[in-house]
Amino acid sequence: MITVIKSPFVQYKLTILRNKKTSNTVFRQTMNEISYLIASDVLQYVPFKKQSIQTPLKKMSGTVLGQPIILVPILRAGLGLLEGFAKFLPEAEKGHIGLYRDEQTYEPVEYLFKLPRVKNKKVLILDPMLATGNSSIAAINLIKNKGVNIKDIFLVSLLAAPEGIKNIQKKQKGIHIFTCNIDVKLNKNKFIVPGLGDAGDRYMGTWSYPKKTYYLSTISIYNSFFFRLKMLSMRYL
């Protein structure tokens, strides 16, 4: 199942992200904003239930989540969607999946996998760019291997390529995909066209660096980034 979020305000924010003139500061802010906006659409599809609560005046029947939710960004770019969803769902638990794309084979390589307990919970995978779909497929498999049913996994993206959607639907039957737009195609380097470029680089601020500076900056960002992740992951140990 595919749900395309066509809200005009979401599309407005998406246009800002697509524009190559958008600064890193505005890009990061807009990613956080659009993730908050699309969270409301995605959460219409999670189960809710009635529960008795006590207001300051009397008891009443209220509406609560019918299933605990885990937010799982695929690093790095998925972090751009995490903040908005976390604001919308402050009670949600968090996991992290680290995958990078082999530039020769375009296949995902795992370097980090941390999840809280997943039994009877809904898992939202956050991956802004659904290009080939290989990273998403790998992430879904990791989560399924922990015992999560495919019907309890949502895949949330900003942009998707037809090739990636076809790949995921073939290998992960029953997955519910959310995206803000299905773009035209993948180019020879497996980037979504017209797309928005490399979401991870633009979010981290390494998009337009000279090659040598780019690698030095990326190493510095990764070192700081993984230290924070290590500290965060200790809560799951």
Catalytic residues: 101, 105, 198, 201
d(CA 171, CA 115): 22
d(CA 216, CA 228): 19
Cα 76 to Cα 25, 100, 104, 226: the distances in Å are 16, 9, 19, 11
Structure tokens at 236: 């799951």
Radius of gyration over every alpha carbon of the chain, rounded to an integer in angstroms: 18
Question: What DSSP line would sit under 151-197, residue for residue?
Answer: GGEEEE-SEE-HHHHHHHHHHSTTPEEEESEE-SEE-TTS-EESS-S
Structure tokens at 87: 């604001």
Structure tokens at 157: 């993206």
**Among positive and negative, which fits the CA dihedral 159, 164, 168, 174?**
positive
d(CA 185, CA 218): 28
Peptide bond before 116: cis, by omega within 30 degrees of 0?
A: no
Residues 6+ apart with CB under 8 A from 210: none
